[in-house]
Chain A
């Protein structure tokens, strides 16, 4: 049980610190209200490019693909140090976290050329999985891919696709054989979002902004070289994408714990500083204990990874419990402002604007990438050995469901 860096780790941290001091000092964070302004995206790309040039874009991957051939511990050290700076929204997290890992695992050498280009900040990605009638039940996708010679013709509709409005590529799960049971008739593709027949329409979400979209495919033609993995084996490729994401630091969009403590120092309740009110301290202590536990839970997972062990489904605990914490804490922090908490204005009270953003973002994060109920099922079944859910769709051809 040791938190201190080994000699190599300490050296690496020193190197990262001096690199960040030299290269990251003029970074700005992206205003949460509108993430997809061109100028913000451009700043995001520039930061990504700088990191790639210095070998920090994907530390554990091999150099030939734009990584560094480093360790998980180095990757965590870089993240810890990077997190101390204000920095642009990570437009590359879907690409690097979910889209590239299956390419690295199942891709042809030609497909793997997309990896360095993404790490260098040239390519943005989106995940074209969910559909109007396939969300939690992802294997129910209906978007069709029909083979015509060396090509595939794609027809159908995706929904809730984050970042599709700016993406260069998408990972697509489509049905290639409706006569097979639903998990077996799926194939996975890499899709160029600029192809004719791809139509991206923004969806206005609860914040009033549009971070996710509907995507329509009207006879989009793909070469067979865009297929990732075998025909009708798309489900296991998709699972790879979803599980690869697990250890990625959550994009929780939550102001720091310290800023919430500071808010409690600044607010007065009935003439007393909020931080001196017993009930406030009790409430904040609960959040502190949870925050502390989540951070140390991550350290435990990191230790596991660096011993070469796979992460089990217990990694789902991280998303499940951080969402709960952030939803509670953002609301409670707003409560400290009493009625002034109703006035959201980034110019006069940036922290309140961030808290409001967190409050509106967390309900989405509780649904995206595995809703609470699904995470609980996964933990119960895979970590605790409890039986799977009863289901009536097993073994039947998809077209008969």
Chain B
């Protein structure tokens, strides 16, 4: 490991509840809870955090957080563009850049969501970027938009409902061991997956992620500073965010991405950059946390990031390859957005850190490299490779 490798030294999360739970805290309150938990995990005083990053148009602006937590000096703050979960790993990428450049010493990447307060996703929004071209036809919610890409994948590669069900069941099964997971105590078999109601064909209810109140936070610092902290530091071996040629906002409205990559998440270039920066290849990866807004979309992301071949994610999932503990690459060992919580994918980074510390509730034995990917669909999207602590 190089001496300029940025390190994740603290992870934190709030309690996760359903989006319409009347008892939930405010978004700012949830954010502060997660950040304080991450600081405690890192063994630093929360007031010494000097950088804040986020994504997904998070409404909890750094000055509010600074005031709420008594942060002494804010040296850096940045938001990764794009409205969806595309920036989950990108917020960590920004934090890593800030630490590497010396702009700030302890940067927290955070995301807080309380849709009961701030508005539920998936509703009609006249300000959506491609509204005039899609709203007159009744197309405006994420499952409807992304169903169009996945339907095409089914057509080109023969992907089936049962194969998407295998992805959903793997996430749900992993969540049974995770005390924080919303879907704990609700195991699912193929019959109940197939019986779930259709939302936007081919997506059934259980192809869709949860809607959650909750927050996550991840603290990044330099390799040198990490050495002086009591906690277990996890190296960020590679971090990238970006958007492929012609991809743009692709399946979230423009649909103008190249037809050759239409049935993908458009992350082929990003994947190459991710592995290239670390001098690694997909076959080196031991465990993966793949942003799962919808089953079939996450499966296309697995293809883009090389966990299986192009078009092969259906048979790969159905073979048991993504299921802990015996699968060749267990995926979403916390339960993912489908079954742990919809913390906009920052919970995938938190779980990646747990895997590299050896503390996951579905711990992959001897796991040395973890791939984490950001939301596919909205560009830019992003990804990380974490190394063993």
Indicate whether A and B interact.
no
